[in-house]
């Protein structure tokens, strides 16, 4: 009996040492915990946010996206000190937020997650066929026709449902993120010039009215979803396509900086970024 008790004491001691060794090993080598998914700042959108045309192209981005290293998202990230995952891509439509735009271009929403703190969104003009209607306005002016196509207004209004659904999904995928939706600035200021290749004042006014209508649709959906709408129209006045190079925020038809008409110049991207940053800071974002 005495030997049996001695063995039991040794067994208990060995078991205690084993538990201690296991505990020490676990303390010395903690199990790695994966960080929550999602980039800190995710930029979503089309060419209005992605590109400055041929200037400062990001050679690491898919070529179709024509993404610039000095676009609005890049400037916003720099000024706010945030790590950016820029998913903006030229020609993107709302459907490309959730589906691949092409080979090597993943759905833009893949960058979102619980770790995402800031989201900026600029999209919708391609869904409302702005390129086709703007070209029709220019051709109509040359042919002496009015470009006030009522179908354009209907196509603009029709994006509301898809836009609202996209905003709801952003909130679901990145529940802790502040969402900022920036609109379309002043493009023509209701005037025209030689660089617009004969576009008359009526055509210029019609084009700007379409952008203003698009702003109204997007702003309404942003506010309904609890996102912040960033109005860039006032800040862009005096920087329209007929302003001098270095002052204008968008290229006219005779483009001499970015070579892409109706798209932002470097000055335009910086100007819009300043308005977005001011809105983010005013919201109390930290």
The answer to whether 263 is a known catalytic residue is yes
**DSSP per-residue letters across 231-272:** --HHHHTT-STTSPTTT-SB--SS-SSSS-TTSB-HHHHHHH
The b-or-e profile of 72-110 (16+ CB within 10 A means b, else e) is bbbbbbebbebebbbbbbbbbbbebbeeebeeebeebbb
Catalytic residue chosen out of the listed positions 90, 91, 263, 283: 263
Triad 227, 232, 235: Cα angle to 5°: 145
Catalytic residue chosen out of the listed positions 4, 29, 47, 239: 47
The answer to whether 47 is a known catalytic residue is yes
Q: Report strand pairing: 118-122 vs 228-230.
A: unpaired
**Which residues lie below 8 Å from residue 39, measured CB to CB, with a gap of 6+?**
83, 84, 85, 111, 112, 113, 115, 116
Integer distance in angstroms from the first to the last C-alpha of the chain?
A: 71
Largest CA distance in the chain: 116
Distance CA 43, CA 84 (A): 7
Active-site annotation, residues: 47, 263
């Amino acid at each position: 009996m005495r030997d049996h008790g001695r063995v039991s004491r040794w067994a208990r001691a060995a078991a205690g040492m084993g538990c201690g060794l296991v505990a020490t090993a676990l303390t010395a080598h903690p199990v790695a915990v994966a960080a929550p998914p999602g980039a800190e700042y995710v930029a979503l959108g089309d060419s209005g946010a992605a590109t400055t045309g041929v200037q400062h192209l990001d050679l690491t981005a898919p070529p179709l996206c024509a993404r610039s290293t000095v676009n609005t998202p890049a400037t916003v990230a720099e000024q706010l000190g945030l790590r950016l995952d820029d998913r903006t891509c030229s020609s993107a439509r709302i459907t490309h937020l959730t589906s691949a735009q092409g080979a090597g271009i993943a759905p833009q929403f893949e960058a979102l997650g619980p770790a995402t703190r800031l989201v900026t969104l600029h999209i919708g003009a391609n869904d409302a066929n702005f390129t086709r209607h703007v070209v029709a306005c220019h051709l109509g002016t040359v042919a002496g026709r009015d470009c006030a196509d009522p179908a354009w207004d209907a196509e603009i209004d029709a994006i509301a449902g898809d836009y609202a659904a996209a905003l709801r999904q952003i909130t679901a995928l990145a529940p802790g993120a502040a969402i900022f939706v920036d609109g379309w600035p002043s493009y023509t200021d209701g005037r025209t010039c030689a660089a617009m290749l004969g576009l008359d004042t009526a055509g210029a006014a019609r084009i700007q009215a379409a952008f203003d209508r698009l702003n109204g649709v997007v702003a309404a959906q942003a506010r309904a979803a609890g996102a912040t709408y960033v109005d860039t129209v006032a800040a862009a006045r005096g920087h329209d396509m007929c302003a001098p190079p270095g002052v204008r925020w968008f290229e006219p038809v005779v483009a001499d900086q970015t070579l892409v008409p109706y798209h932002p110049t470097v000055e335009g991207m910086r100007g819009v970024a300043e308005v977005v940053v001011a809105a983010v800071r005013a919201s109390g974002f930290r």
